[in-house]
């Protein structure tokens, strides 16, 4: 089906996928620089990311994106060349620029509104100001003018000593000079990306008369020569009134992969001692020395004397094509070129349509059920013990499990994709609230099912906002409290006992328990004189209708509180808890299942029906003793659980499977805790066991049913309903006319 | 089969006929995906009486509607002889519990007569029209109105 897609569109899709990765690299790099953990390579990686985005965008004619990326890139170039200090204002501007660049990409992709021109232009101005040193202390005489394509330096840091780039800025660009001396030294990657020097030379020749000479001084003996390396450099003298920008444009797509210097012809100082040898002779000499079986030098380009366009001898590395490991991409699509950056031991991955994976998972889910059914039937028929069938069945079970695990692993994704979005959020919230925040993340590579990853973003976003807005103090308060002015928020992911745990901690003021208690009492959530433990008070913030923000701020007070976070986490089968240390900070811990496709449940029986109760909701189970069950009013029973009376709900009665109540002592009571934190005991006839079940939606073919979260298929092939304990408790409470239970009863 | 009709191009379609009690009904054969025997369904709480519950159809959870109850006819307990027609209704798969599948018939649209006024409003909600075949009267069912929420929309 993908065949039908327009190839250009397909490439574009790949480009945007790569953009995501590049933007991630960009952000990671900038943050590394900010945290001081960057090395020399980091700034280059950052530059490359922006450059690659620009390059691809150019190929697709995404002009807004190209323009912005260009300004961005120009500043980065100044930084990596060391001409600008990478101080904090610069870094902040860069981070904001990364955000805007991401918005530009999203806009170009059709996801999200076009970037407000004012916002983009504002940053462009800021970046340009930084580029031109308006704020930089280094008083260099930079006379760059903002031409449509401002000057770029092209040294890529591989050979920092190669030439003095700062001199590049010295000649004024505005006035057209008599010509240019262009020194081009391609790197091996340039060829690996299927660029050819010959084509570049031909392009240059279009601008004016050129004289090209080849420098082979770096050429080693054939025996030492690597067929994939690039040894040659060219000096091109371009005469005529040509704009420097026009010259540089020729090298736009290769500048990252070569050393390039463009200087006016009359300039005396030539930083690169270009050996004006006669390459024909050199090559002839080399060849004479060469033994026949040694691979030929990949770039056997002789001196090209003008006039062009005589067919430029194309330095196609033929030998390299055959032997090269980083296969030069044959596609001329420039969009692919930047991303094809050589990563020699590249991880072998394929992109697969998610739908196909989902189909596979569904089928495997059915295989698991079918296998369980088969096993049960064989056991029932009494065949199992009497033959080799039981051995075969066991093997089948193991294999089925393995297949299921492997398939689930396909969908597993690192939480990185969510974590990567957070630095931006932290930055924005920090700016909005006037707080200084440093985000520390760990465990980005922790894997979890894709569906879970997707649904993690919202709760994490909300909790980070809360941590900054409510948790952290203002810089002044922090200093007064003897803490560093900059607050730290940690976001950590880890695997723990088959679940993923996400911790969000801040080093702020912690929960003000007196205030929380006061608010809860004022809002009628707890009795005024309730005696609560610290933990209970902390957990009050999860109650619906509780919000400690005195003023509804733009940041976290959007009419939703922690109760919403808790609900969305519990909807995922997760739990949330809080630990707070006054004056030292708070830690929120989320624990989530690794997948949404299966659920740990307790299989129970009620009036001949088999039901599944989600294990996450269950606190404990007990056999009700007659003396512990009391009746309040007519039918409403409560059961004494520890020192608490909790409502006892006969599930079979509640769900209409039975008309008359049975004595509670004949059944089993399962104490559950609802999302709102209320406890209740559900009465079943018996507990059959605990198992993992595959979740099947009822809504696919029918509709939502009150009291039922979903369905599953048990080993006997029958459908069993998964209970929505909250809804059951809610309906039970609706039936009674009792006033709302207070938490502290 | 076209020999029955002088003009094969005329709007003719294939229908699948089934029995509920003494009455015969039919639906468009294209809507029916398969026919299978009755298997006990898991009842759904708080559901209308015609909702028999859900069964496992090769891993999919299939709701079963007792068409007899839905039409306000019989209310016999289903047995192994009862039949479930698995039908596509509005992008969903739904099992329709009927007594037996009786026939596959060809029908031209002009042969369908409007539902007479004697039928109750309840039945008329689902019956698009009636027609005669070999002395039998068969009601053509509008499947889109079978599901509860679509009924609410139609009301």
- Interval A271-289: pLDDT, tens: 444 444 444 445 555 555 5
Phi, psi of A697 (to 5 degrees): -80, 140
The one-character DSSP state at A427 is H
Are A381 and A396 part of one and the same domain?
A: yes
Q: What per-residue confidence (pLDDT) applies to A510? A: 85
- Do A144 and A184 reside in the same domain of the chain? no
Chain A residue numbers touching B53 (CB-CB < 8 A): 719
Span of A30-39, A47-56, A323-332 with lowest mean pLDDT:
A323-332
**Is A702–B55 a contact, with Cβ atoms under 8 angstroms apart?**
no
A231 or A317: which leads in pLDDT: A231
A246-262 pLDDT, tens per residue? 777 777 777 777 888 88
Distance CA(B125)–CA(A555), nearest Å, equals 53
In terms of CA atoms, which chain A residue is nearest residue B49?
A656
Question: Among A334-343, A568-577, A699-708, B132-141, where is mean pLDDT lowest?
Answer: A334-343
Interior angle at CA B41, CA B38 and CA B42, nearest 5:
170
For A436, A492, A591, the CA distances from A574, given in Å and listed in that order, are 31, 16, 5
Locate A475 and state its tokens: 């810089």
Domain boundary among A395, A413, A431: A413
Same domain, A609 and A697: yes
pLDDT for A294 equals: 45
Q: How far from the centroid of its chain's Cα atoms is residue A600's Cα?
A: 28
Least-confidence region, from A61-70, A331-340, A584-593, B95-104: A331-340
Q: What confidence tier does B94 reach under pLDDT thresholds 50, 70, 90?
A: very high
In this predicted structure, which of A131-135, A229-233, A323-327, B28-32 has the lowest mean pLDDT?
A: A323-327
Contact B60 A701 (CB under 8 A): yes
Indicate if the pLDDT at residue A268 is higher than 60.
Answer: no
pLDDT at position A74 over 60: yes
Task: Supply the ipTM of this predicted assembly.
Answer: 0.83
pLDDT digits (tens, 9 = 90+) for A473-501: 888 888 888 888 888 999 999 887 667 88
Mean pLDDT of A728-739: 65
Domain interval for residue A62? 2-155
Asked whether residue A40 falls in the same domain as residue A112, the answer is: yes
| A336 located within any domain | no
pLDDT in tens, A293-325: 444 444 444 444 444 444 444 444 444 343 433
Nearest-angstrom CA–CA distance, B149 and A333: 52
CATH number at residue A130: 1.20.120.160
Do A545 and A609 lie in one domain? The reply is no
Residues A407 and A480 grouped into a single domain: no
Give per-residue pLDDT as tens, A536-551. Answer: 788 888 877 676 554 4
Q: Are B46 and A719 a contacting pair at CB < 8 A?
A: no
User: Is A409 part of a structural domain of the chain?
Assistant: yes
Q: Are both A397 and A456 inside the same structural domain?
A: no
A705 with B45: Cβ contact below 8 A: yes
Q: What CATH number is attached to the domain comprising A622?
A: 2.30.30.40
B63: chain A residues, CB-CB within 8 Å? 698, 701-702
Smallest CA–CA distance from A698 into chain B, residue: B61
The answer, yes or no, to whether residue A699 has pLDDT greater than 50, is yes
Q: Is the Cβ pair B61, A711 closer than 8 Å?
A: yes
Residues of A contacting chain B (CB within 8 angstroms):
362, 365-366, 369, 609-610, 654-657, 696-698, 700-703, 705-708, 711, 713, 717-721
Instruction: Tell whether A165 is covered by a domain.
Output: no
Contacts of A577 (CB under 8 A, 6+ apart): A539, A588, A589, A591
User: What residues contact A350, with CB distance under 8 A and at least 6 apart?
Assistant: none
Domain boundary, last residue among A539, A568, A593? A593
pLDDT of residue A134: 55
Contact (CB, 8 A) for A403 and A367: yes
Q: Could you tell me if A98 and A190 lie in one domain?
A: no
The answer to whether the beta carbons of residues A367 and A407 sit under 8 Å apart is no
Q: Which residues pair with A490 in a beta bridge?
A: A440, A505
Percent of the residues in chain A that have a pLDDT greater than 70, as a whole number: 77
Residue A336 vs residue A267, higher pLDDT? A267
Question: Nearest Cβ partner of B45 from A369, A707, A718?
Answer: A707
Cα separation, B117 vs B128, in Å, equals 13
Do A464 and A504 form a contact (C-beta atoms < 8 A)? Answer: yes
Higher pLDDT, A697 or B11: A697
Contact list in B for residue A711 (CB cut-off 8 A) is: 42, 54, 61
Residue A362, min C-alpha distance to chain B (Å): 8
Check whether residue A124 and residue A239 sit in a common domain. no
Residue A222 lies in a domain: yes
Residue that is last in its domain, among A296, A311, A345: A296
Count of domains forming chain A: 5
pLDDT of residue A508: 87
Alpha helices in A613-743 (DSSP H): 651-654, 725-735
Tell if the CB–CB gap between A718 and B42 is shorter than 8 Å.
yes
pLDDT of residue A612: 92
CATH number at A239 reads: 3.30.70
DSSP output for A15-65: HHHHHHHHHHHHHHHHHHHHHT---HHHHHHHHHHHHHHHHHHHHTT-HHH
| In a shared domain, residues A437 and A407 | no
In a domain, A217, yes or no: yes
- For residue B77, the model assigns a pLDDT of 79
What is d(CA A100, CA A18) in angstroms, rounded to the nearest whole number? Answer: 17
In chain B, residues with a C-beta closer than 8 Å to the C-beta of A716 are none
**Residue A346: what pLDDT?**
58
Radius of gyration of chain B from its Cα atoms, rounded to whole angstroms: 16
* Cβ contact B81:B1 at 8 Å: no
What is the torsional sign of CA B96, B97, B101, B102?
negative
Confidence of residue A744 (pLDDT cuts 50, 70, 90): very low
CB-closest option in A609, A610, A701 to B61: A701
pLDDT number for residue A279? 45
pLDDT tens digits for range A344-372:
455 677 888 878 888 888 788 778 777 87
Q: Is residue A332 part of a domain?
A: no
Q: Is residue A69 predicted with pLDDT exceeding 70?
A: yes
In a domain, A675, yes or no: yes
A577: its two tokens: 């808890």
- Between CA A217 and CA A232 the distance in angstroms is 8
A656/B63 touch (CB, cutoff 8 Å), yes or no: no
Quick one: pLDDT band at residue A136, thresholds 50, 70, 90?
Answer: very low
Quote the percentage of chain A above a pLDDT of 90.
3
Question: Is residue A335 situated within a structural domain?
Answer: no
pLDDT for res A311: 43
Kindly tell me if the per-residue pLDDT of A650 is higher than 80: yes
Residue A725: closest CA among A740, A713, A709, A712:
A709
Helix/strand/coil for A476: helix
Top-ranked range on mean pLDDT: pick from A226-230, B4-8, B84-88, B116-120: B84-88
Q: What is the pLDDT of residue B17?
A: 92
* Whole-number Å distance between alpha carbons of A130 and A79: 10
Question: Which has more pLDDT, B76 or A330?
Answer: B76
Tens digit of each residue's pLDDT (9 = 90 or more) over A395-437: 888 898 888 888 878 878 888 888 888 888 888 888 888 888 8
A388 & A493 share domain: no
On the question of pLDDT at A380 being above 50, the answer is yes
At A475, which CATH number? 3.30.565.10
Angle at A576 between CA A573 and CA A580, to 5 degrees: 175
Band (A560; pLDDT cuts 50, 70, 90): low
Do A588 and A439 share a structural domain? yes
Closest Cα partner for A557 from A489, A466, A458? A466
pLDDT of residue A694: 79
Contact A700 B41 (CB under 8 A): no
pLDDT confidence of residue B151:
41
Higher pLDDT, A66 or A139: A66
Q: How many residues does chain B have?
A: 155
pLDDT of residue A149: 40
pLDDT score at A283: 52
Residue from the list B42, B47, B148 with its beta carbon closest to the beta carbon of A719: B42
- Mean confidence (pLDDT) of chain A: 74
Q: Is the predicted pLDDT of residue A144 greater than 60, yes or no?
A: no
The residue of B43, B45, B63, B152 whose CB has the most chain A CBs within 10 angstroms, and thus the best one to mutate to test that interface, is B45
Pick from A204, A207, A182, A208: nearest CA to A262: A182
CA nearest B55 in A: which residue?
A: A719
Lowest-pLDDT choice from A161-175, A215-229, B22-36: A161-175
């Amino acid at each position: 089906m993908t065949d039908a897609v327009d190839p250009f569109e397909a490439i574009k899709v790949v480009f945007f996928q790569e953009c995501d990765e590049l933007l991630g690299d960009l952000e990671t790099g900038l943050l590394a620089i900010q945290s001081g953990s960057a090395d020399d390579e980091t700034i280059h990686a950052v530059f490359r990311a922006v450059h690659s985005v620009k390059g691809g965008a150019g190929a697709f004619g995404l002009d807004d994106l190209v323009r912005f990326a260009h300004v961005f890139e120009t500043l980065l170039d100044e930084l990596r060349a060391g001409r600008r200090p990478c101080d904090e204002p610069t870094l902040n501007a860069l981070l904001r620029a990364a955000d805007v660049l991401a918005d530009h990409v999203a806009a170009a992709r059709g996801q999200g509104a076009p970037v407000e021109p004012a916002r983009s232009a504002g940053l462009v101005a800021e970046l340009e100001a930084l580029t031109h040193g308006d704020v930089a202390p280094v008083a260099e005489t930079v006379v760059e003018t903002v031409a449509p394509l401002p000057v770029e330096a092209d040294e890529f840091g591989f050979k920092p000593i190669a030439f003095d780039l700062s001199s590049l800025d010295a000649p004024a660009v505005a006035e057209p000079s008599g010509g240019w001396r262009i020194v081009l030294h391609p790197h091996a990657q340039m060829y690996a990306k299927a660029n050819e020097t010959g084509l570049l030379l031909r392009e240059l020749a279009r601008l004016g008369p050129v004289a090209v000479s080849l420098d082979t001084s770096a050429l080693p003996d054939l025996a030492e020569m690597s067929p994939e390396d690039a040894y040659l450099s060219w000096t091109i003298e371009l005469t005529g009134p040509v704009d420097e920008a026009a010259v540089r444009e020729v090298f736009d797509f290769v500048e990252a992969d070569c050393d390039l210097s463009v200087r006016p012809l009359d300039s005396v100082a030539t930083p690169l001692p270009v050996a004006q040898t006669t390459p024909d002779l050199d090559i002839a000499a080399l060849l004479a020395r060469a033994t026949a079986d040694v691979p030929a030098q990949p770039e056997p380009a002789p001196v090209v004397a003008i006039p062009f366009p005589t067919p430029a001898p194309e330095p196609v590395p033929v030998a390299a094509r055959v032997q090269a490991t980083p296969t030069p991409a044959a596609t001329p699509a420039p969009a692919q070129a930047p991303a094809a950056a050589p990563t020699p031991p590249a991880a072998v991955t394929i992109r697969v349509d998610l739908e196909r994976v989902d189909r596979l998972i569904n089928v495997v889910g059915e295989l698991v059920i079918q296998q369980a059914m088969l096993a049960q039937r064989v056991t029932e028929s009494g065949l199992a013990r009497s033959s080799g069938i039981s051995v075969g069945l066991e093997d089948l079970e193991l294999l089925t499990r393995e297949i299921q695990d492997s398939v689930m692993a396909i969908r597993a994704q690192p939480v990185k994709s969510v974590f990567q979005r957070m630095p931006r959020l932290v930055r924005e919230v920090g700016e909005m609230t006037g707080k200084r925040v440093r985000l520390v993340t760990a465990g980005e590579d922790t894997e979890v099912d894709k569906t879970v990853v997707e649904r993690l973003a919202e709760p994490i976003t909300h909790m980070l906002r809360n941590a900054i807005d409510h948790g952290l103090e203002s810089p002044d308060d922090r200093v007064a409290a003897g803490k560093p002015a900059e607050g730290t928020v940690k976001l950590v992911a880890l695997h723990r006992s088959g679940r993923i745990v996400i911790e969000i901690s801040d080093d702020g003021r912690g929960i003000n328990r007196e205030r929380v208690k006061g608010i809860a009492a004022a809002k009628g959530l707890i009795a005024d004189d309730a005696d609560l433990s610290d933990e209970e008070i902390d957990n009050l913030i999860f109650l619906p209708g509780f919000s400690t923000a005195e003023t509804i701020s733009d940041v976290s007070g959007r009419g939703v509180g922690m109760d919403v976070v808790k609900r969305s986490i519990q909807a995922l089968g997760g739990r949330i808890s809080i630990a707070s240390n006054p004056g030292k900070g708070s830690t929120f811990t989320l624990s989530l299942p690794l997948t949404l496709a299966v659920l740990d449940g307790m299989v129970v029986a009620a009036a001949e029906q088999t039901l599944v109760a989600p294990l996450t909701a269950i606190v404990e189970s007990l056999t009700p003793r007659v003396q512990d069950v009391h009746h309040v009013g007519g039918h409403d029973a409560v059961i004494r659980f520890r020192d608490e009376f909790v409502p006892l709900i006969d599930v079979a009665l509640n769900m209409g499977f039975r008309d008359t109540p049975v004595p509670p002592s004949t059944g089993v009571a399962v104490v559950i805790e609802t999302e709102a934190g209320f406890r209740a005991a559900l009465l079943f006839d018996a507990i059959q066991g605990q198992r993992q079940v595959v979740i099947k939606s009822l809504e696919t073919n029918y509709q939502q049913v009150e009291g039922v979260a979903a369905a599953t298929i048990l080993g006997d092939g029958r459908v069993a309903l998964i209970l929505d304990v909250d809804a059951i408790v809610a309906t039970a409470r609706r039936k009674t006319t009792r006033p709302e239970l207070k938490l502290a009863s | 089969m076209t020999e029955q009709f002088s003009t094969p191009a005329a709007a003719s379609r294939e229908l699948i006929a089934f029995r509920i009690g003494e009455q015969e009904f039919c639906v468009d054969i294209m809507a029916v995906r398969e026919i299978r025997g009755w298997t006990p369904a898991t009842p759904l709480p708080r559901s209308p009486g015609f909702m028999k519950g859900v069964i496992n159809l090769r891993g999919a959870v299939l709701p079963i509607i007792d068409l007899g109850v839905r039409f306000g006819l019989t209310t016999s307990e289903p047995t192994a002889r009862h039949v479930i027609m698995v039908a596509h209704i509005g992008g969903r798969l739904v099992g329709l519990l009927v007594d037996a599948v009786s026939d596959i018939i060809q029908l031209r649209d002009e042969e369908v007569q409007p539902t007479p006024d004697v039928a109750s409003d309840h039945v008329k909600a689902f019956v698009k029209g009636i027609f005669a075949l070999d002395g039998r009267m068969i009601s053509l069912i509008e499947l889109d109105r079978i599901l509860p929420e679509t009924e609410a929309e139609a009301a």
